[in-house]
Amino acid sequence: DISGNFHRVVETIRRARDDLGAHVVVFPELTLTGYPPEDLLLRPEFIDRVARSVSELLPQVRGIDVVLGHPMRNGSVLHNTASVIANGQIVAQYSKQLLPNYAVFDEKRYFQPGTQPCVVAMRGVKVGLTICEDIWEPHAVRQAVDAGAELVLNLNASPYDTGKDRLRQEVVRARAREVRRPLIYVNLIGGQDELVFDGGSQVVDSDGCVVQRSRFFEESLDVVDLDTSRGTVHPVGGSIEQPPEPPESIYRAVELGVRDYVNKNGFEGAVLGLSGGIDSALTLAIAADALGAANVQAVLMPSRYTSSMSITDAQAQCRVLGVEFRLLPIEQPFDAFLKTLSPLFANLPLDTTEENIQARCRGVLLMAISNKFRRLVLSTSNKSETAVGYATLYGDMAGGFAPIKDVPKTMVYRLARFRNSISPVIPQRVMERPPSAELRPDQKDEDNLPPYDVLDPILSQYVEQDRSVEEIVAQGFPRDVVERIARLVIVNEYKRRQAAPGVRITPRAFGRDRRYPITSGFKF
């Protein structure tokens, strides 16, 4: 949103200068476009619009210096750039040197790397500029200090995953200690499709000690005071926000991801199917927290196999949260499908076909509500189900966004307990009863899958760590179970290709992170 970001930058400059009395304001990586712009960067008119916005910004920068991240075209070459603007002019520019091309990053597809340091005097302080990945290796920071930098700035768009905040802190502290210079690390905030940027901007002194840190998952404009009276640059320090630990950090990441996806894409709220099970119960709580209860609608769609307990618990949760709910039984459409198919299915036994028809009846109803009322359908599948295909294509997988798509089932329960520790909104019985799809009589998830406390560790190693079957079996897991799970992961790749995007919370999510061929002769 180049225009929207431009106006936010202008207002932030005004606040920093007029309200806070700041000398310099620093924005994150690629602020003008948002991160990652992906193939928009290949469109000439997109880059032209960025260039015009930078030009339009220049006359508005008076009485304060600005460090701004944006893409910059130099002839036929595109750089990931940080510009220093002072008194209506660009006085220095730095091009990112280390371009990440792993996990969710593919910057080498778009940008050419820079090679030179950039050190610029701002209010008497020699400041070295770096961008995100530059700080993960010593070279760019050392290069800036060798060029005279007394202070290092690092502009970031570093997405959240569990444990990422600790890793960032270790890296920033290590770079500061290596060059004996203070370092200011500025990170992006907000949700962009699957990615959530969690902030946690920080200041470390020349000893590598964290002396100031901003909030996580909340945008803020914070003043950093620097003492230069002793001939060196010394950050005075300020409030140090503590990073939330899982499960709180995961909950907040998913909440932020849902809020920004729904609002930035112009939906008038969200709708989801509420089954009385733990996955949809957690998704409903997240949606209500993210969007406000008035902007969420729950739909209860019982079938002939749905227990009265499921309906009771689902209704109870809606009442506690203040969420509107509708009861739309699917018996009539389900029966209509069975009658229509009966000439084809005559004398054939019931199997997963009939189970899937129920799920698809629900998908049709939810999508109809979405179309009519412009509410985004939130699908409720978790990572464990997504991995092994324990979900129905065009059924419970139907939807525009999947909040807990990257959340393993065992973590689903932890998130539910965390949310209930704030205020009890998920019925206790929902968390205690054995999970079931309720698509046939007395069905339980463990009829088809190993217990989740066995399944999830296997999936973590096979999917997220790329461990082989042999390596996993060597840790004591039964070979037949491991081989079966690996086979399910492989054969269900086609389903995952058709799944809705969802918030990434692990270092290896399906989709942007883990890209495997559907057609493959490689089995394990």
Selection from 2, 49, 59 nearest residue 30 by Cα: 2
The answer to whether residue 29 is catalytic is yes
What is the end-to-end Cα distance of the chain in Å, rounded?
A: 43
Q: Provide the phi-psi class of 126: left if phi over 0, else alpha when psi is between -120 and 50, else beta.
A: beta
Q: Cα(161)–Cα(260) distance, rounded to whole angstroms?
A: 17
Torsions phi, psi for 372 (to 5 deg): -75, -40
Structure tokens at 33: 């476009």
Selection from 136, 146, 199, 145 nearest residue 173 by Cα: 136
Catalytic residue among 11, 108, 126, 132: 132
The answer to whether residue 132 is catalytic is yes
Catalytic residue among 96, 405, 409, 495: 96
Beta-bridge partners for 94: 82
Query: Distances in Å between the alpha carbon of 279 and those of 173, 373, 431, 439?
Result: 39, 24, 10, 16
The residue with tokens 């949700």 is: 191
Structure tokens at 304: 């002939």
Q: Which residues contact 440 (CB under 8 A, 6 or more apart)?
A: 305, 350, 354, 355
Q: Which helix (H) or strand (E) holds 81?
A: strand 77-86
Q: Cα(284)–Cα(369) distance, rounded to whole angstroms?
A: 16
The answer to whether residue 361 is catalytic is no
> What's the helix, strand, coil split of the chain in %, to 5?
40, 20, 40
Selection from 374, 258, 274 nearest residue 325 by Cα: 274
CB atoms within 10 A of CB 330: 21
3 state DSSP class of 327: strand
Catalytic amino acids?
29, 96, 132
